[in-house]
Chain A
Amino acid sequence: MGTRNSTVTPPDANDDATFRRRLQTRGYLEFAEPPPGLAAKVLANMPQEAPALAAQRRQTRFRWPVAAFAGLLVLLLAFGTWGLLIDSAGPARMLGDLSSGLSRVVLLLTLAAKPLLHVLAMPGLPALLLLTTGGLVWLWWRLARVPAFADTAEAAL
């Protein structure tokens, strides 16, 4: 958080006060008016439970898609492993004769997961992952974090 370092001198404060007065005189400091009824709208959309419970629910809401995605990935890997090591149609046969809806979907998933497992078992995977991650981080840094970097550099002045 911010720290007091006694670098704000009276001239700084005077410059600010003068500038603020000039803005005020010219009518620039008026607040932008919110649309009528905004406070009521905000209140109508607030959670009905206590803040701690609302925070918990909000966190759970954000975690749910991540958990679902992770679950799907694990399921896919499990099917793929089964398909590679035991029998491609094994998991699907437990659900039907491979022509019915669900068993056909599972068969498709098992077959789709096999290339994924092959990729995971690839010898150059660590290098590939490193390169991909590095590229994504660089891209993210250039696109999103460069202003923040500039701020930090400026703060050090």
Chain B
Amino acid sequence: MTPDQQAEEAAWVAQTLAGNQSAFAQLVNRYTGAVFNQAYRMLNNAAEAEDAVQEIFLRAYTRLASFQPERRFVTWLLAIGSNYCIDQLRRRRQQWLSLDDVAFWLPSDRPGPERSALQRERRDLIQEALQGLPDTYRMAAVLRFWHDLSYQEIAEALNLTESAVKTRLHRARAMLTTALAAEGDTEWEPEIAP
């Protein structure tokens, strides 16, 4: 992200706080994809990820006054997303088997994105491998590898020290490597010892 973009986003935040709703629309349009990707990678369910996007932007809007312009907006937004997803996963663990859970296991009738079979297969493979990680490792990995956040930004988003982030990413790399190899990606040889 260029300094110009950061300044532009800070200006949109200021305009939104002053009552200009269309300025917030610019932020929503720019980051819907990123927030959806984070939620989908974490929750592993497109419908839940869609609800998550709605709730995360709503939380961002109502807490906009707490945004510090010297930070990147996307980092702040993904931090809100991280908290929401971790909360949802904790709630999911506390729930008894419900009809929603059964529906979750049934094949979705939503039309999938039009991609080649190979791309779909790879996407499923990495998604499966990601789901095998503990929630907090998965979150660190998603923020680092998909969203390219720095160690410091991940530490701020997840309320951790950088050394804890380092440990999680180290273990996440090892676990993902093993999982991808085990799921049939023969070209993926473990190179980092667990």
Contacts and interface: CB of A to CB of B under 8 A. Distances in A.
A63 interface: no
Interface string B54-69: 1001100111110000
B61 A2 contact: no
Given A1-B156, A48-B21, A154-B168, A8 B162 contact: yes
B61 A47 contact: yes
Q: Interface residues of B: mostly helix, strand, loop or mixed? A: helix
A15 B93 contact: no
Output the residue of A8, A29, A47, A58 with the most chain B CB within 10 A: A8
Interface residues of B, number: 72
Interface in A6-53: 6-8, 12, 15-16, 18-20, 22-23, 26-35, 38-39, 41-43, 45-48, 50-52
Given A5-B162, A155-B167, 14 more contacts: A1-B156, A2-B152, A2-B157, A8-B163, A15-B173, A26-B185, A27-B119, A30-B119, A38-B53, A42-B28, A43-B25, A154-B168, A155-B163, A157-B164
Interface of B: 16-19, 21, 24-25, 28-29, 32-34, 36-37, 40-41, 46, 49-50, 53-54, 57-58, 61-65, 90, 93-94, 110, 113, 118-119, 122-123, 125-126, 134-136, 144-146, 151-152, 154-170, 173, 176-177, 185, 187-188, 191-192
Interface of A: 1-8, 12, 15-16, 18-20, 22-23, 26-35, 38-39, 41-43, 45-48, 50-52, 54-55, 58, 143-144, 147, 151, 154-155, 157
